Amino acid sequence: MAIVTLLTDFGLSDSYVAELRGVVLSAAPGVVLADITHAVAPGDVRAAAHVLGRAWHRFPAGTVHLAVVDPGVGTPRAALALRARGHYLVGPDNGIFTHVLRDTPVEIVVLRVPADAAATFHGRDVFAPAAAALANGVRLETLGTWFTGLPERLATAEPRYEGKSVIGEVVYVDRFGTLVTNLTAEQVPAYATLEVEDLGLGPLRRTFADVAVGALVPYLGSDGAVEIAVRNGSAARRLGLGVGGEVRVRLDVVRGKK
Amino acid sequence: MAIVTLLTDFGLSDSYVAELRGVVLSAAPGVVLADITHAVAPGDVRAAAHVLGRAWHRFPAGTVHLAVVDPGVGTPRAALALRARGHYLVGPDNGIFTHVLRDTPVEIVVLRVPADAAATFHGRDVFAPAAAALANGVRLETLGTWFTGLPERLATAEPRYEGKSVIGEVVYVDRFGTLVTNLTAEQVPAYATLEVEDLGLGPLRRTFADVAVGALVPYLGSDGAVEIAVRNGSAARRLGLGVGGEVRVRLDVVRGKK
Amino acid sequence: MAIVTLLTDFGLSDSYVAELRGVVLSAAPGVVLADITHAVAPGDVRAAAHVLGRAWHRFPAGTVHLAVVDPGVGTPRAALALRARGHYLVGPDNGIFTHVLRDTPVEIVVLRVPADAAATFHGRDVFAPAAAALANGVRLETLGTWFTGLPERLATAEPRYEGKSVIGEVVYVDRFGTLVTNLTAEQVPAYATLEVEDLGLGPLRRTFADVAVGALVPYLGSDGAVEIAVRNGSAARRLGLGVGGEVRVRLDVVRGKK
């Protein structure tokens, strides 16, 4: 039976997520629901795109991903359904699919908006019915019209070279206070060291326990991005750094630096 | 296979919700579990009733709703199981079913309390087994005795007319800080304007994006109630208003008012 | 179909839990996922062990419990899979199974760690695949090698006798601020009274409503441990007590004490 994942900024205290669940289970009995998250900060499309980008491809082909962080609900922004690598994704055209669209050929349809859809709750009245239909095997192209433009993508910073350094930035902070950067393994060779402002963090380590409890530790994260953590603590708090904060990779050999 | 929804104030950090899940899945293998919420503030039966009232009828007929916000656990308050519109609901007789009971004919049974039920955890030892039994197709009336009294209902404020105004009040505040009122479309004609204290909010809009970012916006919410939000912000914080706060609908034509 | 429960300290805002879900559902289609909790404080193995100890045996035999609170991820600590009372449990050898191991014969296997497992995310790359395999009916012993040592167990305080008193301690605090102790019914006969510092709490009551709203109430909790709550309030806040805090059971008859 098809899986439908749910990703929203609705939180878990109100009825909104349950209304999605009810609509999907009513229209597609037997579907398997799986939350991605509902704790995206209200309207934070960038964080939603990051989390979706990490999670969606872990599910089996055929999965339908309902992704609704939608501050522009009720405006003319398009409601989309996508097919990518055998998965389906449903959500607003506001950049939430930025990481899905990277290097992935997609087919995109603009969903019809029923006349009686609540102007403030397309999650329930537009996207959930579309997700249920796809889970039921309804063909993508019957849900609307082919999308002929370019879907929204969030501008994403790329690391830049500056003398003997590469400058990356923090793109996400997780619940542990770990700083996820836009740096990848190829920008951080084994001899390179990392710095945040004037603080040297040393070379990439393998895991948290390679440093003492309470120490900062840079490492290659489980999704291929360079991350900075504090062992048993929060790097975000320690460094006072958030999304957009700069991380420097020094490619010259640093000696005697603490 | 039958769906069992869960609504509690148990939170998500302890074992309590998992114990419910385990009991239901042990007694009714194959049942589909779906959370409504577990983040109701401890003992807030009013909020629980509101969330349940919005969510339950979105699920398909045959669904069993387990609703346990139960500050009176272990007292003589009755443990109930209801049938309403082809759904089943299970929970304490403390007003949690207030919105379900509105305009809906119900059949109600008082559940037997097993002698070994923990006096502080009827959710696990009384309600979850009853929900599992109903999901298994056990007939309602075999779970106890017909309830002959009137089930508890929370007093709910009705909007009142005052000269050329209607005075409503806030009945729920959601995670976005949106104020949900007891006003409905019929009390707010197109020419009416809303006020909170001396602040004019203008007429109902269609959606958030009909005002500037950061502005207050009244609109007809997705459940038919008038709501007040701040676009990309929190109306509760902006207005300093919570449950019980007054919202005025002015039916006279207001000119020149900002 | 087999059930796989999930218990982590990953929180619900990031992609990590969804990655586990995706991996399990990809490798074991049709499995039923059920959360125990993901809100364990980061690295709090003791709390995780407590919650797991209460919840796991409520699920039916055959259930696979994936328990990953793993501050030592990537170190030589063993990755384990256990069979206990017909259940399977998968997680790190760091004490998280302390309560499962109590009075329960177990068979234990050390899981193979795939060469390409992310050193910081064994939850996804080691434990989730093992859980999926067990859910698919793969035999425990084929997942690794028999574990011949003693699995880690957290030191747990036992109540101690001191004159005419028993001194217990708080072992867990739940979301309501209820203090769960290591005292059981046999240490608190009907004539005994409880004290925290100099404050008398009286004898065990049956349920919250046996005291006035706002009053402290000791009682035998739903898992057999003595607990202290405040009716409609938080005992942790009222008493300023947390894990390790002392609770005294007076076995002498106290007269005239308020």
Q: Which ipTM was obtained for this model?
A: 0.96
Residue C254 has pLDDT above 70, yes or no: no
Rounded Cα distance, C125 and C148, in Å: 24
- pLDDT tens column, B12-56: 999 999 999 999 999 999 999 999 999 999 999 999 999 999 999
Is there a contact between C15 and A3 if contact means CB atoms under 8 Å apart? no
Q: What is residue C157's predicted lDDT score, i.e. its pLDDT?
A: 87
- pLDDT tens column, C228-238: 999 999 999 99
Contacts of B219 in chain A (CB under 8 A): 119-120
Q: What is residue C156's predicted lDDT score, i.e. its pLDDT?
A: 87
Contacts of C40 in chain B (CB under 8 A): 13
Pairing, β C64-68 against β C87-92? parallel
Is there a contact between C74 and A32 if contact means CB atoms under 8 Å apart? no
Is there a contact between C58 and B13 if contact means CB atoms under 8 Å apart? no
Mean pLDDT for A28-36 is: 97
Residue from the list C11, C25, C121 with its beta carbon closest to the beta carbon of A222: C121
Return the C-alpha torsion angle C47, C49, C54, C57, nearest 10.
Answer: 160
Per DSSP, helices labelled H in B87-234 are 98-101, 122, 128-135
- Residue A158 neighbours by CB under 8 Å, 6+ apart: A182
Residue C75 has pLDDT above 90, yes or no: no
- With contact defined as beta carbons under 8 Å apart, do C171 and C159 qualify? no
Quote the minimal CA–CA distance from A25 to chain B in Å. Answer: 7
- pLDDT tens column, B109-166: 999 999 999 999 999 999 999 999 999 999 999 999 999 999 999 998 899 999 999 9
Residue B216 has pLDDT above 60, yes or no: yes
First to last CA, chain B: 56
Is there a contact between B43 and C232 if contact means CB atoms under 8 Å apart? yes
Residue B258 has pLDDT above 50, yes or no: no
What percent of chain A lies above the pLDDT cut of 90? 92
Q: What is residue B104's predicted lDDT score, i.e. its pLDDT?
A: 85
Structure tokens at C201: 């709490």
Taking residue C202's Cβ as centre, other Cβ atoms within 10 Å add up to 18
Task: Give the SS3 label for residue B55.
Answer: helix
- Sign, CA dihedral B236-B237-B242-B248, equals negative
Is residue A258 very low, low, confident or very high in pLDDT (cuts 50, 70, 90)?
A: very low
Mean pLDDT for A161-181 is: 96
Mean pLDDT for A120-142 is: 98
What mean pLDDT, rounded, does chain A reach? 95
Rounded Cα distance, A87 and A199, in Å: 43
Mean pLDDT for B79-90 is: 97
Is there a contact between A51 and C18 if contact means CB atoms under 8 Å apart? yes
Quote the minimal CA–CA distance from C22 to chain A in Å. Answer: 4
Is residue C255 very low, low, confident or very high in pLDDT (cuts 50, 70, 90)?
A: low
Q: What is residue A70's predicted lDDT score, i.e. its pLDDT?
A: 95
- With contact defined as beta carbons under 8 Å apart, do A131 and A91 qualify? no
Q: What is residue C258's predicted lDDT score, i.e. its pLDDT?
A: 47
- pLDDT tens column, C162-198: 999 999 999 999 999 999 999 999 999 999 999 999 9
Give A237: exposed, middle or buried? Use CB within 10 Å, 0-12, 13-18, 19+. exposed
Q: What is residue C74's predicted lDDT score, i.e. its pLDDT?
A: 83
Task: Give the SS3 label for residue C122.
Answer: helix
What percent of chain B lies above the pLDDT cut of 70? 98
Rounded Cα distance, A143 and A205, in Å: 48
Rounded Cα distance, B90 and C132, in Å: 33
Contacts of A118 in chain B (CB under 8 A): 221-222
Structure tokens at C125: 């790359």
Taking residue B30's Cβ as centre, other Cβ atoms within 10 Å add up to 11
Q: What is residue A256's predicted lDDT score, i.e. its pLDDT?
A: 53
Is there a contact between C35 and B19 if contact means CB atoms under 8 Å apart? no
Is there a contact between A175 and C121 if contact means CB atoms under 8 Å apart? no
Is there a contact between A176 and C30 if contact means CB atoms under 8 Å apart? no
Contacts of C118 in chain A (CB under 8 A): 221-222
Residue A126 has pLDDT above 80, yes or no: yes
A64, containing H or E segment = strand A64-68
Residue from the list B58, B209, B221 with its beta carbon closest to the beta carbon of A22: B58
Residue from the list B17, B26, B73 with its beta carbon closest to the beta carbon of C207: B73
- Using alpha carbons, select from B129, B96, B124, B130 the residue that is nearest to residue B110: B130
Rounded Cα distance, C29 and C32, in Å: 9
Quote the minimal CA–CA distance from A174 to chain B in Å. Answer: 18
Please indicate, yes or no, whether the overall pTM of this predicted structure exceeds 0.80: yes
Quote the minimal CA–CA distance from B27 to chain C in Å. Answer: 8
Contacts of A232 in chain C (CB under 8 A): 42-43, 71
Residue A82 has pLDDT above 80, yes or no: yes
Mutation pick from A56, A207, A228 vs chain C, by most beta carbons of C within 10 Å, is: A207
Q: What is residue B256's predicted lDDT score, i.e. its pLDDT?
A: 53
What percent of chain C lies above the pLDDT cut of 70? 98
Closest residue in A to C77 (Cα–Cα): A209
- With contact defined as beta carbons under 8 Å apart, do A170 and A218 qualify? no
Is there a contact between A12 and B39 if contact means CB atoms under 8 Å apart? yes
